[in-house]
Chains A and B, each alone.
Chain A
Amino acid sequence: MKKSWIGKMATIALTATLFAGCGSNAGTSNEGTGSTGGNSTDKPAATEQAKKNNGKLTVYIGFQEDHAMKAIELFTKETGIQAEMIRMSAGEILAKVRAEKDNPQASVWYGGPADTFVQAVEEDLLEPYVSPIAAKIDAKYKDPNGYWTGVYVGAVGIASNKEFLEKNNLEAPKTWNDLLNPKLKGEIVMASPASSGTAYTAIYSILKVFGDEEKGFDYLKQLHPQVQQYTTSGSAPGRMVGLGEAGIGILFAHDIIKYQEEGYDNLVLTFPEDGTGYETGSIGIIKNSKNQDLAQAFIDWALGTSAQELGKTVGSFQNVTNPEAVGPEQAVDMSQINLIDYDVADAGSQRQRIIDKWNAEVNK
């Protein structure tokens, strides 16, 4: 025996290190460049200048995984700028950006509802940038000071399970009050506003639709016994309704469409005719981060047509904000639904108060 234990341990440690070393080489070697592309129609000066700058851009992305990866690939292909990304949910991105405040690790925050960006602006975490392309975008989809700019829009809709409707002889809900039908008791799923931007958007919209807050809260209290479960994730209700675990779900229309496209063909999408709200998926630059010029180039690209048209190829069915881009054909025609005036700034600043009130009075 003698020194065998130690010797063998050392051998293993060494092997492990070698293995790890090899691994990391393999990991970095496949970052091929590819500045051959560049078929973007919008190519402002920022891009040209940034290309000369040989930095590498880090982006936090709130899209789903494949969309995020494809976006970075396409960006590098079209602009020649090296970029890498980390995918997280919007709330996680905000938490990370906040924690990294003194030494930001990423320059761009791409995707996630504007309310999270409003919160970030309040905490002084973002850097304003008005992209030349932002001029094309409707004023309600962007921050006047350029802290955030909308890249997509999605309305709150209602998902129903076709078999459930048939079995109970019901029509798909057409107003918020339809959801109070006694037959729907324990059949509705929505996310909890405390965890999900989707649910907060829905609840804020309901308060606006009912005109004043008290009436809105009366409605939410009546809705509460109808609700089977408040999920953590905003899009989970779509899957639950698709699988028949619940009859009706409240979530973003583009998520419902996504589930339909994935094969849940028993899902029916309707919109409340008395009005519904929407989210503005946004992009912004993180304050005090490196490579601000590259970040600006990224924003210019994200607002352009090729980036906006990427979504539909990877199963993201939101409406695009750049009027020149062709959105997904499955997407909802926003002019056909009754949209409320969704005041992002107000929604953001009321958020904690409304959620607290909802917790205290509704979800007791």
Chain B
Amino acid sequence: MSAMFKRFKREPLLPILIVLVSLCLIVFIVFPLFQIFKASFIMNDGQIGMDGYKRVLSGGGLSRSLTNSLVLATISATLSTIIAYMFAYTFAYVKIPFKKLFNAIAILPVISPPFVIALSAMLLLGKQGLITKHLFGFENANIYGLHGLVLVQTLSFFPIAFLTLSGLLRSISPSLEEASQNMGAGKWKTFISVTLPLSVPGIANAFLLVFVQSLADFGNPMTIGGNYSTVAREIYLQAVGSYNMQAGAALAMLLLTITIIVYILQNFWVGKKSYVTVTGKPTGQRRMIESGAVKNLLFAACMIITVVVIAFYALVPVGSFIKLWGINNSFTLDHYKYVFNLGQKAVFDTLKLAVVATPIAGLLGMIFAYLIVRTKFRGKKTLEAVSMLSIAVPGTVIGIGYILAFNKAPLALTGTGIIIVAAFVVRALPVGIRSGVTALQQIDPSIEEAATNLGAGRAKVFSSIVLPLIKSAFFNGLVNSFVKSMTAMSAVIFLISAKYNLITASIMAQVENGRIGVASAYCTLLIIIMAFALVLLNTLVKWLSGTNRRTYYGKDS
């Protein structure tokens, strides 16, 4: 008791912080999920029963959707991680032209509104697709189904993996690799035995992130899933299409269980090792690969992916000026007239709420990461696991959980902006935490210890040592939370109110009605807003840390 008190006296901020953070998690994640858990046992007539689980586990469509989702998530996560690693490696290790362009392209899919890639896939590779029919003359190309989903999800999600990996690869200290080479190892050997092992936590994190996002993905399966049903879609269909909240909730609980298992496995596998590379000792700058087959190969691969991404994105702005894609290809401004007349409010509402949510989610993410990596307290593992829950369940579940949880006093939040901001933050948090954790795991705690020894308190250490060191992770967290908020769909579709309408809900409505032109115009506008915000955020973060950047980890931009 007295030991605890002493610790409290020395660091009064820490326990307060832990309590606050735990409270946030309980109110905004555990409580709503508990409501869903409850709903999975309540039948439509109000009786308690196991019908939902029986329906899911009795075989047929619902259990098929579970296996489908797992297969899809495994393939998408593997492919995304490979592509992302290749991109990140190229950026950090290879001297190639157009680096800025590649970088922009690699994050472009992150700022993609839902449906965009799926819509483009239909237009490019569908039965009447530009590539499939008009370029190659295939008569019966079919984009609907598993292969279409893999393509679309890989394109949509590899940037998340990229953002996680790029900061990590850049901050691997070159001295380790130089040592390896000095001892006679070749480049390949160095890569296999130094670089790759050092990036294991990043790879595992990236894989996990894409895996859960794929499980929870809603927009893509809705658009081009075809007859390949996945869990997130099935939950929505059960809750919304079949009016069967119970089966939807039961399915959500099973999905949650699977994700938790994956998370535990990942943790078991990577969690115990130490990956410290930023030690505070001065290191030189990395010597980049400047020529050779490796360079050419990587350059070609980046080029191909870049072309593919550009092809997928160019269609959207083009489509927004075309009267009726594939039928009447004349130029029109009608779609923009519609968007500017009727969509204005949705655009401003979304922007406003996202701007509020972004700094909250960004800072919270870093605080969480710090607590997870650098502090010891009872229940830390639980805290960490709970913080990841929100990404592990499809947005629909969060949305319905939020209405169930926050519809009555004392937390009557439905219809307010707070509930949407909370959903934004909670959905964006896991990615922020993951990238923070990845970055922190690489920083030698002795730097902070040195500061502590010099008399700095924890808050001081956090603000002047930790934050600057994980700046790029912090930036990634900010970008991610802004983008996630701007493009959130399934989670907020039940939370929108007359006062706060959201642009994605409008896009979904347009897609549902087959008005691809208007949907494209909305998406184009959204992409422009997000690209602008990205530049702004980048500048801001640079300005924030510009003067006090140390030379701990060489060049980092």
Give residues in A with beta carbon < 8 Å to B: 1, 4-6, 8-9, 12-13, 16-17, 19-20, 23-24, 26-28, 58, 64-66, 69, 84-89, 91-92, 94-96, 98-100, 102-103, 105, 116, 119, 122-123, 192, 194-196, 229-230, 232-233, 235-236, 238-239, 242-246, 258-259, 262-266, 351-352, 355, 359-360, 363
Sample of 13 A–B contacts (CB below 8 Å): A16-B358, A24-B417, A64-B509, A84-B498, A87-B509, A194-B237, A232-B222, A232-B225, A235-B514, A242-B327, A243-B326, A246-B127, A264-B324
* Bound complex: CA A99 to CA B126 (Å): 38
* Bound complex: CA A262 to CA B515 (Å): 9
B327-343 contacts to A (CB < 8 Å): 327-328, 338, 342
User: 16 extra interchain contacts, Cβ-Cβ under 8 A, other than A65-B342, A84-B499, A259-B514?
Assistant: A1-B548, A12-B540, A20-B352, A91-B240, A92-B494, A94-B243, A95-B239, A95-B245, A95-B400, A195-B241, A232-B222, A233-B222, A235-B512, A238-B514, A245-B122, A263-B324
Contacts of A64 in B (CB 8 A): 509, 513
The answer to whether B356 touches A16 (Cβ under 8 A) is: yes
The answer to whether A99 touches B242 (Cβ under 8 A) is: no
Chain A nearest Cβ from B291, distance in angstroms: 40
Contacts of B325 in A (CB 8 A): 243
B67 within 8 Å of A (CB atoms): no
The answer to whether B506 touches A65 (Cβ under 8 A) is: yes
The answer to whether A92 touches B240 (Cβ under 8 A) is: yes
* Bound complex: CA A116 to CA B243 (Å): 8
* Bound complex: CA A26 to CA B544 (Å): 30
The prevalent SS among residues of A at the interface is helix
* Bound complex: CA A341 to CA B506 (Å): 36
Partner of A86, one of B408, B468, B498: B498
The answer to whether A263 touches B544 (Cβ under 8 A) is: no
Contacts of A89 in B (CB 8 A): 240, 512
B61 within 8 Å of A (CB atoms): yes
| A102-B407, A103-B414, A244-B326 known; A91+B342 contact, CB < 8 A | no
Contacts of B400 in A (CB 8 A): 95, 99
Partner of A96, one of B44, B468, B494: B494
Nearest to B39 among chain A residues (CB) is A99
The answer to whether B356 touches A20 (Cβ under 8 A) is: yes
Chain A nearest Cβ from B408, distance in angstroms: 5
A-facing mask of B99-142, CB < 8 A → 1, else 0? 00000000000000000000000100011100000000000000
Nearest to B126 among chain A residues (CB) is A245
Nearest to A265 among chain B residues (CB) is B327
Contacts of B351 in A (CB 8 A): 23
9 A-B pairs closest in CB distance? A84-B498, A1-B548, A195-B241, A239-B514, A91-B240, A99-B403, A23-B352, A263-B324, A195-B237
A-facing mask of B210-253, CB < 8 A → 1, else 0? 00000000000010011100000100111111111100000000
Q: How many A-B residue pairs have CB under 8 A?
A: 179
Chain B nearest Cβ from A344, distance in angstroms: 15
B480-502 contacts to A (CB < 8 Å): 493-494, 496-499, 501
Chain A nearest Cβ from B511, distance in angstroms: 8
Contacts of B467 in A (CB 8 A): 5
The answer to whether A8 touches B356 (Cβ under 8 A) is: no
Contacts of B222 in A (CB 8 A): 232-233
* Bound complex: CA A99 to CA B506 (Å): 22
Contacts of A85 in B (CB 8 A): 498
The answer to whether A232 touches B233 (Cβ under 8 A) is: yes
Chain B nearest Cβ from A217, distance in angstroms: 16
The answer to whether A92 touches B407 (Cβ under 8 A) is: no
Nearest to B403 among chain A residues (CB) is A99
Nearest to B142 among chain A residues (CB) is A228
Contacts of A91 in B (CB 8 A): 240-241, 243
Nearest to B44 among chain A residues (CB) is A123
Partner of B359, one of A13, A95, A102: A13
Chain A nearest Cβ from B158, distance in angstroms: 25
Contacts of A84 in B (CB 8 A): 498-499
* Bound complex: CA A266 to CA B497 (Å): 39
Chain B nearest Cβ from A121, distance in angstroms: 12
Chain B nearest Cβ from A240, distance in angstroms: 9
Contacts of B544 in A (CB 8 A): 4-5, 8-9, 12
Chain B nearest Cβ from A3, distance in angstroms: 8
Chain B nearest Cβ from A310, distance in angstroms: 15
* Bound complex: CA A79 to CA B468 (Å): 59
The answer to whether A355 touches B242 (Cβ under 8 A) is: yes
